[in-house]
Amino acid sequence: MAETFVRKFNQSKYLLLLFIPCLIYYILFRYFPMFGVIISFKEYNIFKGVINSPWVGFKYYEMFFQSHDFYKLLRNTFLLGLYKLLFGFPAPILLALMLNEVKQRIFKKFVQSISYLPHFISNVVVVSMILMFLSPSSGIVNQLIQAFGMDPVNFMSRPELFRAIYVLSEVWQHTGWEAILYLAALSSIDPMLYEAAEMDGASRWKKTIHITLPGIVPVIIVLFILNIGSVLDISFEKVFLLYNPAIYETSDILSTFVYRTGLGQGNFSYASAVDVFTGIIGLIFIYSANSISRKVGETSVW
Amino acid sequence: MKYRLSWGKLLIVLFLLFVVAVTLYPFIYMISVSLSKDIYVLKGQISLWPKGLNFKVYRLVLEDPRIVKGYLNTAIYVIVGTTVSLIVTAAGAYAVSKKEMLFYRTFTLLIVFTIFFGGGMIPTFLVVKSLGLIDTRWAMILPTAVVSWYLIIMRTFFSAFPKELEESAKIDGLNDFGIFFRLVLPLSKAVLATIGLFYAVSIWNNFYSALLYLRNSDLFPLQVVLRNIVLAGQVNSVKVTSIGQDSLIVEESLKYATIIVSTVPILLIYPFLQKYFSQGAMVGSVKG
């Protein structure tokens, strides 16, 4: 045993050497924080540090579950994720199917290249654009509304509009990019199938239903699982930049709450408890999405 | 090829043109407003093309010391950060692309697990703080140095590397270290360029790390400067009024110009990103 270990070590020592920087990174910035979550079970004190702060058990978890923020934060996070899934998931499929029908290469390439531009724009820029376009005094949207003789709308002070604004901006930003995966799957469909269908007199619509769609169903399923798994992964950056106290009612989510409680008010233990809770819910989502798909079909992510 | 115009085809083309318009219009509008004469902006008369073309606000934006400093800082973060990220990721990815490596399973699991679970914002902040990185340039580089997805994409790429080449290099007396640096890396320029550009874009756009780890305004990257100017409304009013007399500066034009100036580099490089990423993105999300 020991001998094979030594031999194997000798064989792979240079590979291990190559892995060392990576290992250090993962231990420092990924695994230390994971052990750092113990502060959610402690009364963290900056001067005492993580190790020496006294234990308090589940105090902060109970505090969170009993607070009136709990329901609101969970609902807001979940609803934003759900609406994003509902509108953001089918959009790239639709775009890919449309692009697939276009036979002129140059036009197709042009539309595609334009469509994923917003994916690379920073959240600060996207949010700046949203807030300026929607501004009640000078925004172009309100100029348009006023041109039709209606009163300007103060979009960012109406809690009922926040979800729509967030989801729409996500769709605008990521649809083109996400369509790439479907387009790749579409291009791998055997053209012989289409030729055969044409010989049998199938219409364009029939070909889409019977050849194109089934061809990308595996990709759709895998991406759907991944999307369900990350339903709670709402972009902290975007919500943080976009929201304001007047609309916390619908826009405050778990991660923004963690930021305000932890770094804003210095309540590190409470904030980490909320953080850990979010992480665990996320794990449950991924795990159940994967096991459901494993039971229903043969596809699974792992 | 037969050419038949049908309603379906027309509808599709119209829909796609709509997508293009919706994507591009916001940018065109911002550019037009920022290039237009103030009076037309104030009257809200700009819709597509600039009216009374002038570059006044751009001169103001480029003379703003905060923006200049932000640009320089971001450039440093992007250059150093991308280099560090690429080296660490590529070396790590090459190691875990070799199944015969000791601890192969452990290391792979170590990486994959972080995709599904992380310590979260506060514990990460405390680690960064205890490492003494708060308010240093490294805070913009190290905590986000490796993206697990990119590492997995690279691993998939390296594991498709022809075995015969590596074996012949071994016979010629190279060890794994030498093979990686002298054989594999030079032959992997495509994947390095792609992942490198991805890292560069994400560092350019990174607001999160700066928000959490930086307090010193001398270190602020462009994104924070942009946010302070556009969202927090800290327009440099002294400068604006001192330009004097007939030239009234509209805050809106100034903000749009700031947005455009800080987005131009992305607009310039993103077309290069598309070359390889369709395969890359595919590998990463489906076989991951």
Q: Is B276 on the interface with A (CB under 8 A)?
A: no
Residues of A in Cβ contact (< 8 Å) with B127? 28-29, 32-33, 36
Q: Please give the span between the terminal C-alpha atoms of chain A, in angstroms, as a whole number.
A: 31
- Please tell me the predicted confidence (pLDDT) of residue B1: 44
Q: Is B143 on the interface with A (CB under 8 A)?
A: yes
Q: Are A190 and A265 in contact (CB under 8 A)?
A: no
Q: How far apart are CA A134 and CA A162, in angstroms?
A: 12
Beta bridge partners of A55: A42
B97 in the same domain as B148: yes
CA neighbor of B88 nearest in space, from A31, A12, A17, A8: A17
B126 in the same domain as B38: no
CA neighbor of B90 nearest in space, from A11, A181, A302, A15: A15
- Please tell me the predicted confidence (pLDDT) of residue B145: 96
User: Which tokens go with A175?
Assistant: 């649809």
| CATH code of B270's domain | 1.10.3720.10
Examine the fold and report which residue of B12, B35, B54 is the final residue of a domain before the chain moves on.
B54
* C-beta atoms of A34 and B22 within 8 A: no
Amino acid residing at B26: P
pLDDT digits (tens, 9 = 90+) for B44-75: 777 778 888 888 889 888 888 999 999 999 99
User: What is the complex's ipTM, to 2 decimals?
Assistant: 0.89
Beta bridge partners of B104: none
B100 in the same domain as B17: no
Task: Give the minimum alpha-carbon distance from A28 to chain B in angstroms, rounded to a whole number.
Answer: 8
Q: Which of A120, A257, A290 to mutate to test the interface with B (most CBs of B within 10 A)?
A: A120
How many residues are present in chain A?
Answer: 302
Residue ranges making up the domain that contains B121: 57-285
* pLDDT-flagged residues of chain A (< 50): none
CA neighbor of B89 nearest in space, from A29, A15, A21, A31: A21
Amino acid residing at B222: L
* C-beta atoms of A276 and B120 within 8 A: yes
Q: Is B19 on the interface with A (CB under 8 A)?
A: yes
DSSP of B25-38, one letter per residue? Answer: HHHHHHHHHHHS-H
Q: How far apart are CA B231 and CA B189, in angstroms?
A: 39
B171 in the same domain as B66: yes
pLDDT digits (tens, 9 = 90+) for B11-45: 999 999 999 999 999 999 999 988 988 777 777 77
B277 in the same domain as B150: yes
* C-beta atoms of A39 and B271 within 8 A: no
B102 in the same domain as B17: no
Examine the fold and report which residue of B38, B54, B70 is the final residue of a domain before the chain moves on.
B54
Q: Is A33 on the interface with B (CB under 8 A)?
A: yes
Amino acid residing at B126: L
User: Which tokens go with A65?
Assistant: 């579950």
Tokens 């560090």 belong to B84
* C-beta atoms of A236 and B87 within 8 A: no
pLDDT 10s digit of each residue in chain B, 288 long? 445 567 888 899 999 999 999 999 999 999 998 898 877 777 777 777 888 888 888 988 888 899 999 999 999 999 999 999 999 999 999 999 998 888 899 999 999 999 888 888 999 999 999 999 999 999 999 999 999 989 998 998 898 888 888 888 889 888 888 999 999 999 888 889 889 988 999 999 999 999 999 999 999 999 999 999 888 776 654 445 444 444 556 788 889 999 999 999 888 888 777 665 555 554 444 333
A 12-31 residues with CB < 8 A to B: 12, 14-19, 21-23, 25-26, 28-31
CA neighbor of B16 nearest in space, from A89, A104, A121, A208: A104
pLDDT digits (tens, 9 = 90+) for B113-130: 998 888 889 999 999 999
B76 in the same domain as B197: yes
B 65-124 residues with CB < 8 A to A: 87-89, 91-92, 94-96, 98, 100-103, 107, 110-111, 114, 116-124
Residues of B in Cβ contact (< 8 Å) with A259? 121
Domains, chain A: 58-119+165-296 (1.10.3720.10)
* C-beta atoms of B102 and A5 within 8 A: yes
User: Which tokens go with A151?
Assistant: 């009163």
Ramachandran category for residue A135: left, alpha or beta (phi over 0 → left; psi -120 to 50 → alpha): beta
Q: Give every CB contact of residue B140 below 8 A, 6+ residues apart in sequence.
A: B77, B81, B203, B206, B209, B210, B213, B214, B219, B221
B280 in the same domain as B193: yes
Q: How far apart are CA A41 and CA A54, in angstroms?
A: 9
B162 in the same domain as B195: yes
Q: How far apart are CA A274 and CA A39, in angstroms?
A: 12
- Please tell me the predicted confidence (pLDDT) of residue B274: 67
A298 HSE (CA, 13 A, CB side) = 1
Q: Number of structural domains, chain B? A: 2
The pTM is what?
0.89
B187 in the same domain as B94: yes
Residues of A in Cβ contact (< 8 Å) with B23? 114-115, 117-118, 172, 176
Instruction: Calculate ∠ Cα B213-B218-B219, nearest 5°.
Output: 40
Q: Which residue of A has its CA nearest to B96?
A: A19
- Please tell me the predicted confidence (pLDDT) of residue B236: 55
Amino acid residing at B182: R
B133 in the same domain as B37: no
B77 in the same domain as B32: no
Q: Are B123 and A33 in contact (CB under 8 A)?
A: yes
